Amino acid sequence: MKVLIIGGGGREHALALGLKADPVVTELYCAPGNPGIAEVASIHPVDVSNNDSIVALAKELDVDFVVVGPELPLVNGVADLLRAEGFATFGPSKAAAQLEGSKTFAKEVMNDAGVQTARSFTCTKRVEIEKALDALGAPYVVKDDGLAAGKGVVVTHDREQALAHAMACKKVVIEEYLDGPEISLFGISDGKTVIAMQPAQDFKRAGDNDAGPNTGGMGAYSPLPWAPTDIVEQIQRQVLSPMIAEMAARGTPFVGLLYAGLSLTNHGIRVIEFNARFGDPETQVLIPRLETPLATLLYKAATRDLEGITLKWREDSAVTVVLAAGGYPDVPTTGDPITGLPHIHSVEVYHAGTQLDAKGLVSSGGRVLSVTGMGSDLTEARNCAYRGISQIKLKGSYFRSDIALNAAVAEKGN
């Protein structure tokens, strides 16, 4: 099978390694890819915001299967165009990707599906915004309705800041604050059947102890030894299955990866958000743990053939730590040399914001690398990840030192 991956971040690097390991894959391409992905796939330039260039590349390479990584082309409808040209495609249609593309749409579907989420108001005018802020009270949760590359959400006790963010959005969702540990659970769906992966936890804030601004994600780990043993079944029953059924009933089946961001509150499981694609950096801990051949699995989803499949997982734990460029998440510094990439057993380095120039490997984005460590428990996996990331030299870069720390300590205590 000739497989084309669209995207060029850490998530796509992890997907590339997973796909490559499946013996059905004979050729692996990635566009635009990055220097890390180039070690396992042949990379091709493409503008991910231009659907025609993606379809043209799939035709030129004459691939059998396309896996779309990022949300932008999905929300722009690339999966519809690829399917119309006869390509098996892993990724939802434009209509189904609206679960990520519009927070208001996601709320409507959840409401119709009976899925629990934070109470919310969608507003466009200042009077509505102020009324919503005062009705819900602090901490204020203010979300840009549309795609915002992980930066559209402000959670704050400061009413002025909440109001300012809301006013800067064209359409804004103001919602109830959900108090509870967050987890990410991914469902792989063929439109009818949905298979849950194992849960992961992401660290969204830039600094240790969840200080600082929201980011795209600074690290992740899996499994979650502290979570209730039936957490996956609960979320499957309360969230994934009803959402997939509702999307099918609307005539817009969701084929691809449904990412549920959840809060485990005292009142039960609540949805924080949906994404229409694999999460980053959760993918960098889930794919290394997945034993089920990835290309076969995703192809079965794309061709409506998932029924009866169960996933196999390694017993190992995985922890990934993101190396961010100085200035991230505001304006990251780019163009600086990266050296000291570790070559250590049980450590994998995924490239995200890197490129090759005359100086060699240099930084080219906010999240530069993610370093995943594997081990028999979270402590061992953390040790590997941190041993790996501390060898890397990139001027001005930083990483969180507490990824999976509390979970590892709690696991040891058990």
* Binding stretches for ligand AMP (CB under 6 A): 118, 141, 143, 153, 155, 175-178, 182, 204, 214, 261, 272-273
Which residues lie below 8 Å from residue 396, measured CB to CB, with a gap of 6+?
325, 326, 327, 333, 336
Does residue number 279 form part of the binding site for ligand GLY (CB under 6 A)?
Answer: yes
Please identify which residue in 70, 280, 295, 378 interacts with ligand GLY, judged by CB under 6 A. 280
Which residues lie below 8 Å from residue 29, measured CB to CB, with a gap of 6+?
2, 3, 4, 5, 41, 42, 43, 44, 61, 63
* Residue 118 binding: pick among ligand AMP, ligand GLY, none (C-beta 5-8 Å cut-off by kind): ligand AMP
Question: CB-side exposure of 218: number of CA atoms within 13 Å?
Answer: 25
Q: How far is the CB of 107 from ligand GLY (least distance, A)?
A: 18
Q: Which is nearer to ligand GLY, 256 or 279 (CB)?
A: 279
Q: How far is the CB of 396 from ligand AMP (least distance, A)?
A: 25
Q: How far is the CB of 147 from ligand GLY (least distance, A)?
A: 11
Please identify which residue in 22, 145, 175, 282 interacts with ligand GLY, judged by CB under 6 A. 282
* Residue 141 binding: pick among ligand GLY, ligand AMP, none (C-beta 5-8 Å cut-off by kind): ligand AMP
* Residue 153 binding: pick among ligand GLY, ligand AMP, none (C-beta 5-8 Å cut-off by kind): ligand AMP
Q: Which is nearer to ligand GLY, 118 or 123 (CB)?
A: 118
CA distance 336 to 54: 30
Q: How far is the CB of 154 from ligand AMP (least distance, A)?
A: 8
Query: Parallel, antiparallel, or unpaired for β 172-175 and 120-123?
Result: antiparallel
Does residue number 144 form part of the binding site for ligand GLY (CB under 6 A)?
Answer: no
**DSSP notation for 236-261:** IIIIIHHHHHHHHHTT---EEEEEEE
Q: Which range of residues in 84-92, 233-241, 278-286, 366-374 is near ligand GLY by CB under 6 A?
A: 278-286
The candidate with the shortest Cα–Cα distance to 204, out of 154, 168, 159, is: 154
Q: How far is the CB of 259 from ligand GLY (least distance, A)?
A: 7
CA distance 390 to 7: 27
- Phi, psi for 359 (deg, rounded to 5): -80, -5
Structural tokens at position 392: 């890397």
* Residue 70 binding: pick among ligand AMP, ligand GLY, none (C-beta 5-8 Å cut-off by kind): none
Q: Is 172 helix (H, G, I), strand (E, B) or coil?
A: strand
Structural tokens at position 326: 């100085």
* Residue 354 binding: pick among ligand GLY, ligand AMP, none (C-beta 5-8 Å cut-off by kind): none
Does residue number 152 form part of the binding site for ligand GLY (CB under 6 A)?
Answer: no
Amino acid at 152: G
Q: Which is nearer to ligand GLY, 123 or 183 (CB)?
A: 183
Q: Which is nearer to ligand AMP, 118 or 227 (CB)?
A: 118
CA distance 390 to 375: 18
Q: How far is the CB of 120 from ligand AMP (least distance, A)?
A: 8
Q: How far is the CB of 159 from ligand AMP (least distance, A)?
A: 16
Q: How many residues bind ligand GLY (CB under 6 A)?
A: 7
For ligand GLY, the binding residues in 166-205 under the rule CB under 6 A are: 202
Q: How far is the CB of 348 from ligand AMP (least distance, A)?
A: 25
Q: Alpha carbon 34 to chain centroid distance? A: 18
Q: Establish whether the linkage from the previous residue to 32 is cis, with ω within 30° of 0.
A: yes
Work out the number of other CB atoms within 10 angstroms of the CB of residue 199.
20
CA distance 64 to 2: 5
The candidate with the shortest Cα–Cα distance to 170, out of 151, 141, 147, 139, is: 147
The candidate with the shortest Cα–Cα distance to 95, out of 5, 191, 27, is: 191
Q: How far is the CB of 360 from ligand GLY (least distance, A)?
A: 29
Does residue number 217 form part of the binding site for ligand GLY (CB under 6 A)?
Answer: yes
Q: Which is nearer to ligand AMP, 22 or 145 (CB)?
A: 145
* Residue 282 binding: pick among ligand GLY, ligand AMP, none (C-beta 5-8 Å cut-off by kind): ligand GLY
CA distance 169 to 167: 5
Structural tokens at position 185: 């659970």
What residues line the site for ligand GLY (CB under 6 A)? 150, 202, 217, 275, 279-280, 282
